[in-house]
Amino acid sequence: MSTTSGHRTLVLASASPRRLQLLNQVGIEPDHIVATDIDETPRRGEVPRNLAARLARAKAEAARASVAGDAAYEGAFILAADTVVAVGRRVLPKAETLADADRCLALLSGRGHRVYTGVALVTPAGKIRHRLVESRLRFKRLSEDERINYVASGEWRGKTGGYAIQGLAAAFVQRLMGSYTNVVGLPLAETVALLEGEGFPVRRNWIARGGAVA
């Protein structure tokens, strides 16, 4: 929806507080949030990067269906993303239990892994645009004490791969190649470029944030 003020409506197809915080960081405030519920089970033989791209598109399409028929969101941008953490071809789960978290840490300890985020944008014209971003990380070798204490912190709960790089697990990262915000859950540079390329005015609030310009 457009208004005389130039406002463009944005629907975020994610209930992740991390993705919302990242968007807010660059001055983007979604008008509506849709918590999509899709089957995230990898298909037989599906590689992690393809999984991330497919799930991002599926979330975008689910959100589009959710707001269909609502005049308030006619012609809106719909942004969706999905993050996959993988060791080789093995996709790590979104940790929900102590056992999940411990298994993830055991796999990541002393090894390299990759984080893929698929980003999908439904444009006001109804087209779907995509980006896929990859980051490569290596964790230090974790002692049993480090694993026990991290699991006890509870920070891993609900996190893909069983850790949050923006939290305590930053102490485990020896090397990071690529986008840091991708590992948090949304690659900002690529997402902003995608939105701007389709006409969404990302920088409209930046001047207001800075106050009066001398």
Active site residues: 82
Round to whole Å and give the CA distance between 77 and 61: 12
∠115-121-127 over CA atoms, to 5°? Answer: 135
CA atoms within 13 A on the CB side of 148: 3
Which residue blocks in the chain are alpha helix, DSSP H? 17-25, 48-67, 98-108, 144-153, 180-184, 188-197, 206-210
Picking from 75, 77, 74, 80, the residue whose alpha carbon sits closest to that of residue 60 is 80
Give SS3 for 10: strand
Picking from 116, 121, 112, the residue whose alpha carbon sits closest to that of residue 61 is 121
